[in-house]
Amino acid sequence: MDHFTLVANMEKEEFRILNAIEIGMRKFKTVPFTNIAFYARYDPEEVQHWLDKVHKRDIIIRESGKRQRYVLNSKGYDLLALRALAERDVVASIGNMMGVGKESDVYQALATNEARLALKFHRIGRTSFRAIKQKRDYARGKHHVSWLYMCRLSATREAENLATLNDIGAPVPVLVDQNRHVVVMELFQGQELHDFTRVDDPADIFDKIVAAVSLAFRKAGLIHCDLCEFNIVLTVDGDVLIIDWPQAVSIDHPNAHGFLQRDLENVCVYFEKKHGLVRDPAELMQEILPRESTTTD
């Protein structure tokens, strides 16, 4: 049974139990039975009944011991987000997986008006949760940070960044909505730059990428921070889209210029090695940065 069919077949009490576990995971690595009962506002017998039911659906994890404790798995969290998006009349159905990354899964979907959508499920820490906690500034120093919190915050940041970039007309995916760890975007047709063995006009594509970087910096105050051939898309119309914005930082960040330079260096190195196009990242920095900034770095 696919996720969306499962959402349609579940009872409201099951979602209430999932919500109670979700609330508890803000405080506990595994949520005690008593806390689930408190958050769900059900008596213990009802709680146990619904816990058993969702456990059989394989959407929660039960930790056995003197006292049972529970936690959502990724499927359970997916269902909470999909139900919310369905109730908002944003998503009507979900289709095939389009791609799998280190920190996300992307699926095709249909809107209630039959528009084609892309659903990006953030999967922060899939390879190394500890490394992500140290790397991401919003988790650093926190005693307890659940994978659930990290995924939701990553999606929220990406949605906020996309909204800002959409407002200035930057070549990025168009944001439709966001709930929990899921970002909903308009579906675009294209392939990652990495997938192309050759391109017709490398210089034109390179210039479009740099123009997008400059626009994001100057008009939105954002630096991508992870720009490379894997998150640059060439569309069927020959345009460029810059994707994957959760880790972007403001130009006010103390390391902003270093991040910008690294992005430009990544693109320059790729185009030189792959397409024989030589560009100087230092010169590009001079073109993008305000004149007063270039004299103080």
Q: Which residues are marked as active site? A: 226
Measured distance CA(30)–CA(21) in Å, rounded: 9
Does residue 137 contact residue 157 with C-beta atoms inside 8 Å?
no
**254-290: b (≥16 Cβ within 10 Å) or e:** eebbebbbbbbebbbebbeebbebebebeebbeebbe
**98-123: b (≥16 Cβ within 10 Å) or e:** eeeeebbbbbebbbeeeeebbbbbbb
Tokens representing residue 254 in the block: 């103390």
User: Could you tell me whether strands 240-242 and 190-192 are parallel, antiparallel, or unpaired per DSSP bridges?
Assistant: unpaired
Does residue 181 contact residue 77 with C-beta atoms inside 8 Å?
yes
Return all residues near 179 (Cβ < 8 A) that are at least 6 apart.
Answer: 81, 84, 85, 88
Does residue 117 contact residue 184 with C-beta atoms inside 8 Å?
yes
